Amino acid sequence: MKKENIKKLLLGIDPGSRYMGFSIFNIVSNQNFHRTSSQPSINKPILIEYGLIESKYSKNMEILQNRIYYMAKSLIDMLKSSYQNHKFILTIEKYLFNRFHANGSTVIPMLHGAIIYHLMESELLDEDTNVIMIAPQTAKKTVTGDGRASKIEVKNAVIRLFKLDKSKIKRNDVYDAIAIGYSGLVKYLQG
């Protein structure tokens, strides 16, 4: 696939304070996607790239803020160098407060803000499109047909849908980012 033929891409992100999974999809507006693995697919979405950005975790909020900034910046730097002359539609996991991750109630919104800021600052964000927020249950339902699917079920569905080599992916954050990106792509194309 030649990158120079692609003008608009979709960036899917599974944000986290230590690991941030990402996926990049080509947007072809005439593609039809299935919502569950039991329905036939007319055209497959084109998953261009996926990966993981990792940082050291810290309980110190000032250090953590700095690391979050640099996680977001390193993703944007990679996008700028690999995808020149492209605009991105951002799909990011909607954060739902979890009482077991109280620190995350501050950290994840900071990461959302840092990613959006860097995308806008670098002029990579498609300014004609809103950021697409995808709830975890929506991403699960899109790839498996079940909004309560387990991490293993999401992983297996993503591997099957995109014919991925699971030995190359070390963390579930990447599978989640692909599911979020795919779900965002379906939502975007449905208008």
Give the mean model confidence (pLDDT) for residues 138-160: 96
* 42 pLDDT above the threshold of 60: no
What is the band of 60 on the pLDDT scale with cuts at 50, 70, 90?
Answer: confident
pTM of the model: 0.85
| Arithmetic mean of pLDDT over the chain | 84
If you search the block for the tokens 């390193």, which residue do you land on? 74
pLDDT at 98: 55
CATH 3.30.420.10 at 3-190, yes or no: yes
- What is the per-residue pLDDT for 96? 66
Here the tokens at position 144 are: 């498996």
Average confidence (pLDDT) over 159-177 = 94
Specify whether the CB–CB gap between 154 and 140 falls below 8 A. Answer: yes
- The alpha carbon of residue 147 and the mean position of all alpha carbons in its chain are separated, in whole angstroms, by 17
pLDDT (tens digit per residue) in 16-34: 888 999 999 998 755 455 4
CA pair distance 34, 143, nearest whole angstrom:
9
**Position 177 pLDDT exceeds 60:** yes
Is the predicted pLDDT of residue 161 greater than 60, yes or no?
yes
101 pLDDT above the threshold of 70: no
- The alpha carbon of residue 112 and the mean position of all alpha carbons in its chain are separated, in whole angstroms, by 11
Question: CA 4, 21, 12, 1 torsion: positive or negative?
Answer: positive
Q: Range with the lowest mean pLDDT among 15-24, 126-135, 167-176, 181-190?
A: 126-135
10 phi, psi to nearest 5 deg = -110, 130
Boundaries of every domain in the chain: 3-190
